[in-house]
Each structure stands twice: as C-alpha cells, then as structure tokens.
Amino acid sequence: MGVANAVFTSTLGSPPQAGRGDETMQETAVAATAMDEQDETEEEQERNPEITNLKWMKDGEEVTEALVGDIVVLTADVQDIDDGDRISISMWEKDDVGSDHFIKKFSASVKNGKIEKDWEVEYHEDTDDTESEQEQEEKGYTLPEYVFIIETKSGPEVESGESPLLEVVDWIEIKAIDNESGEPLANEEYYLVMPDGSLRQGKLDKDGYAKEEDLPPGYRYSVVINNPNFRYKKK
C-alpha cells in the first residue's frame, strides 16, 4: 500500500503582502492631507483682519463732546479677528504740532465682532501746543481733545487708525443759601464768572439750585448774586 507524502508549508513569520487596495488608501490619505493644508493656507491668505469704525459713544449715541465724569464707551468693529482675542486701547491728548501726549492704556477682548470699553472722562491739562496757546489768549481757557488707537495683543497683528476727536468740558452745580436763615435763595438771578472774566447769566430754581455745563475744565469758578445774604456752596 503506497503512502501519500503530504508537504505542509508554514507561513508563520512571513511578511504580509500589501495589495493594490492598501496602496490606493494610503495615496488617498496623503492627497486629503495635502488638500486640507492647502485649504488652510488659502483661508489664511483670504483673511483680512481690520479694526474699523472707531467711535465715542454715550447712552447709545455717538458723541464728540463729553463732560468730566461722564461714562463714555470706546467702540470699534473688527473683521477676521476672533472673539476672545486680546486688544490694547491707547488714549492720547492731541497736539496740533504732532507731539501727542499719552494719557493711559486699557485692555479688552473682542466679543461678537466688536470692541467696547467704558471710560470715565478725566481732565488732563493741555497748554503746550500753539492751538492751545491761541485758545488761551482768545478765550482765557483751553479744551483738551482726546483720541484713541486700538491694536491687537493676540491673534493677527493689527493696528487701527485714530478715533474721532472727543472734546472734554466741565460742569458745576450751584446751591445758593441765605446766610441768615439757612434757607435756599429761590429764583434768584446769578452770574458765573468765566476764566476770561466774562459773565454767564442764569437763574436759580425754587430750591436755590442750578447746574452749569459746557465749562472749560480745570478752573475754579465764582458765582455772583445780588443779595447781601448770599452764601454760595459748590456741590
């Protein structure tokens, strides 16, 4: 009886042979990665980050003048700058000969495509430019003018142009008292002495009260009332 010889060949340890399908999948993955990188590059090239439309706002309206102590909002629109990116706001007092004076710096973040920062208006004396000297000679006082500039601190490097000017003025409250009785001097006419020596006329209300606005900041004001018992109290 014959014996059949069987030959068994083991493939254990032999390297797998890559088929054409595997090579195609690898080529597709490489091509997809290259396309993604190209899309990202094109998107970066298409982005045009900007900071525009700088404004001073108060009570929802754009303003060019504010009183000392007012709360104004420094606002701007942004394009292609992400929400959450940090920005820096620099405030300057304008000088007509170009040597503007740095006032202060704020930090803020982009939110909903906008920049907004509250500021309580302060007075910083301006006496060293030719326009201020001329204004001082003509009126006896000067009015400071401020601008702000915005630049990014994270994300793309962007700097805005200057904001419009904000002119700063002052105000006072007058409370007139009868020096003998201590009662308010109701409905009395008064004169406010301006920095140039001129007089601004007004009338007290029934409580001896008046408020004068749009005054040059940085001055001490005198009030004159033709009443021998008048005592002035600046609120």
Structure confidence by residue, pLDDT tens digits, 187-204: 999 999 988 888 999 999
Residue 13 has phi, psi (to 5 degrees) of 90, -5
107 has pLDDT over 50: yes
Identify the CA nearest to 95 among candidates 137, 67, 127: 127
With respect to residue 11, please indicate whether it lies within any of the assigned structural domains: no
195 and 178 share one domain: yes
Which is higher by pLDDT, 135 or 211? 211
**Rounded CA separation 26/23 (Å):** 5
71 and 158 share one domain: yes
Which is higher by pLDDT, 229 or 36? 229
pLDDT tens digits, one per residue of 31-89: 556 555 555 555 555 779 999 999 999 999 999 999 989 999 999 999 999 999 999 99
| Domain with 98 in it | 50-164
186 and 112 share one domain: no
- The neighbour count for residue 183, using CB atoms within 10 Å, is 11
Q: 159: which DSSP letter?
A: B
With respect to residue 21, please indicate whether it lies within any of the assigned structural domains: no
131 and 210 share one domain: no
b/e burial code for range 210-223 (CB count within 10 A of at least 16 → b): bebeebbbbeebeb
With respect to residue 218, please indicate whether it lies within any of the assigned structural domains: yes
